[in-house]
Structure 1
């Protein structure tokens, strides 16, 4: 297939997937919007650090769901294999029930990821352990294991390479609340501006598992990343 036909085809597939995802009215409970700004610092070939600020909107992108600040680090252990971790402080808007307002949460995460290439495809696999708990509340931590697999296709002379990933969340800890809780499907792309950073756009679907009335959430996201390299 000619390159001139591949480019509009990728854009069309991306738009159709978004439209299809957001048109499922029967099972869809909410539409959310996620926007983030990231500052990434590459110390050397081994170490990189990242500071992120993110805002999330729910109720069909009409109310603030929450926002967080996250600091993370990543280390290249061997070629294509990285380990990392992150700390996150989150403010969650609780707008249901008699007692409403913002609640404070702290989360830490540990990651291990592997990336390799097959022709024009890049494949990445990530394992994450995360632990989240609410400040000033005597309760057990919400612990999850997350397994993610992603693929990206590199189109020659085309900056909007498509990306797709699938992720599943498995809760651990308390015996009565263990098991797979939800899965996440994401389709997106990035555009890199010379010396100005990278803008990413994605559409995402999340669906709960093992629930009597599972919630489906559709998400549209916009992210900006600026990278500084140590010279």
Structure 2
């Protein structure tokens, strides 16, 4: 089979990038607030066999045009392969969230867990992935009697990756929709959409480095916000011999 010609790679990248920029331009014309954030993470993953995967992640997020710490967290994740194409996962996250608004400011402790059902399949050089996630987040400093209720979301994510022959920077694109539901909240329903374009580079025996650009848009806020996010991630995988 012949190699993919360079102009085809360039055309593929331009098409994805132009799509995201067009969406961003349309949103910017109607938004009252915008922000630029940076999400950076380091993950160590352990795979004892083909069915199980364990990972520990540390992540730092900056907001206010990358000038202040938004939050940082530690997350433990476990995935179990059920079949060749279907996986199930669970994640536990302890969050230190920076509250810089209102009369009482400072870092707050939050706990979040999620449950994932994931399916993937290949179509020629495309890898298509789908994920359904239930997410539950709670403020540990406020009790239910004080008016705190867990923030719950159902999230659906669909993504694709294209495998160029003899090229390591394969592009990835995904779209994710958030559906919020929680007690005594008039804003329940579809709350946010997230679009992501990125790529990964694998180093031999040294792990994988990823870079992405993300657009996140509120859907049902009185004053909606569009957040632009640039992210850098490093993943090191340990496999049992």
Q: What TM-score do the two structures reach when normalised by structure 2?
A: 0.90
1:9 Cα offset (Å): 3.6
Going from structure 1 to structure 2, the CA distance change for 1:19 and 1:145 (only over 3 Å counts) comes to closer
SS at match of 1:5: helix
Other structure's SS at 2:164 match? coil
1:50 Cα deviation from its structure 2 partner: 0.7
1:203 maps to 2:213: yes
In structure 2, the residue matched to 1:152 is 161
Gaps of at least 5 residues in structure 2 are none
Segments of 5+ residues of structure 1 without an aligned counterpart are none
User: Larger deviation: 63-72 or 11-20?
Assistant: 11-20
Are residue 220 (structure 1) and residue 230 (structure 2) matched? yes
User: Which of structure 1's runs of 4+ aligned residues deviate more than 6 A?
Assistant: 17-24
Alignment of 1:53-202 (within 5 A): 53-138=58-143, 139-175=148-184, 176-202=186-212
Contact 2:170/2:200, CA 8 A, preserved across alignment = yes
Q: Is the 8 A contact 1:7 1:158 kept in 2?
A: no
Greater Cα offset, 1-10 or 100-109:
1-10
Asked if 1:3 corresponds to 2:8, the answer is no
Paired positions, count: 231
How much is the aligned-residue C-alpha RMSD, in angstroms?
A: 1.9
* Alpha-carbon distance change, 184 to 169 in structure 1, aligned in 2, over 3 angstroms: same
Distance 1:126 1:49, change over 3 A: same
Q: CA deviation at 1:21?
A: 7.2
